[in-house]
Amino acid sequence: MRGASSRNVVAICNPKLMSTFKNLSDLLDIHFKVFELRDNLSEVSTLIADEECLELIRRSHDISKVKVVKISEDNIMLRLLEVVGVSRVETIVVGVDPGNTIINYVIFADNVLLGFGSTREFLDLVDVLNKVRSSLRPEKVVIKVGVSPAGLWKSFMSEISRVVSNEDRYSLVLVDENSTTGTCPTTYIGKKDLKNPDLRACINIALREGFIKTARLGVCGELSK
DSSP string, 146-162: EE-TT-GGGGGHHHHHH
Mean pLDDT value across the chain: 85
User: What's this model's pTM, rounded to 2 decimal places?
Assistant: 0.82
Q: How confident is the model at residue 225 (pLDDT cuts 50, 70, 90)?
A: very low
Q: Are 87 and 28 in contact (CB under 8 A)?
A: no
Q: What was the pLDDT predicted at 181?
A: 77
Share of the chain above pLDDT 70, in %: 88
- Above 80 in pLDDT, residue 159? no
Per residue in 204-216, pLDDT (tens digit) is: 999 988 766 655 4
Q: Are 172 and 160 in contact (CB under 8 A)?
A: yes
Ranges of beta strands (E only) in 4-77 are 8-11, 33-34, 46-49, 67-70
Q: What was the pLDDT predicted at 44?
A: 87
Question: What sign has the CA pseudo-torsion 207, 85, 80, 123?
Answer: negative
- Above 80 in pLDDT, residue 35? yes
Per residue in 16-30, pLDDT (tens digit) is: 999 999 999 999 999
**Phi/psi of residue 52, each to 5°?**
-65, -50
d(CA 34, CA 4): 9
Per residue in 121-157, pLDDT (tens digit) is: 888 988 999 899 999 999 999 999 988 767 666 777 7
Domains and CATH numbers, the chain: 8-83 (3.40.50), 91-219 (3.30.420.140)
Q: What was the pLDDT predicted at 209?
A: 84
- Above 50 in pLDDT, residue 218? no
Ranges of beta strands (E only) in 46-139 are 46-49, 67-70, 91-98, 103-109, 112-119
Q: What was the pLDDT predicted at 195?
A: 85
Q: How confident is the model at residue 46 (pLDDT cuts 50, 70, 90)?
A: very high
Per residue in 65-112, pLDDT (tens digit) is: 899 999 999 999 999 999 999 989 999 999 998 877 888 999 999 999
Cα distance between the two ends of the chain: 44
